[in-house]
Amino acid sequence: MKRIAALLCVVIGCRTVPMANAPGATTPRATVEALLAAANAQDLQAVSAVLGDEMGLLRDREGRAEMESRAFIIACVLKNDSNRIGDAQPLGNGRMILSADLTQGKNSGTIRFELAPTKNMRWLAANFDLSVLQNKGFCEQPGRP
């Protein structure tokens, strides 16, 4: 009986732990979905958990204050009432690109996300131009011209 209990402890201790909390996502589309969900929740940690490139997370290479500011702006601009995410297309060098149509209040626009694979078979949002949405009125502060 003691041997079975010891064996059970070894088996439980050696089990494979899923990468549910790993940075990035398993597909380019899932990365964009995670980024948009994080923006809607205004979860700056979750936003920063999908930003990066082939070298890894941006938050591991950038100062905390700068990363928090960046994540705050991204969360504000990408917060949306509805979205429609397109299909990922190859971009070259292993990267993929996909577009998302977003609506924020009365404003709507399309943003293109460039997604990069990591060495751990995860995907991170490497590049996207927030000014496209900002120029359409996303994240405007009330009372500002």
What domains sit in the chain, N to C, each tagged with a CATH number?
A: 22-134 (3.10.450.50)
Please tell me the predicted confidence (pLDDT) of residue 145: 46
pLDDT, position 23 = 85
Residues 96-124 have a mean pLDDT of 97
Per-residue pLDDT band at 17 (split at 50, 70, 90):
very low
**pLDDT tens by residue, 20-30:** 567 899 999 99
In angstroms, how far is the first alpha carbon of the chain from the final one? 75
Phi-psi region of 24 (alpha: psi -120 to 50; beta: other; left: phi over 0): left
Average pLDDT over every residue of 134-139: 96
Going by C-alpha positions, the residue among 133, 135, 31 that lies closest to residue 79 is: 133
CB 31 within 8 A of CB 115: yes
The per-residue pLDDT for 143 is 52
Dihedral over Cα of 123, 36, 127, 71: its sign: negative
Neighbour tally for 4: CB within 10 Å: 8
pLDDT tens-digit profile of 70-88?
999 999 999 999 999 999 9
Over residues 105-116, the mean pLDDT reads 97
The answer, yes or no, to whether residue 12 has pLDDT greater than 60, is no
Contact 133/108 with Cβ under 8 angstroms?
no
Portion of the chain with pLDDT greater than 90, in percent: 80
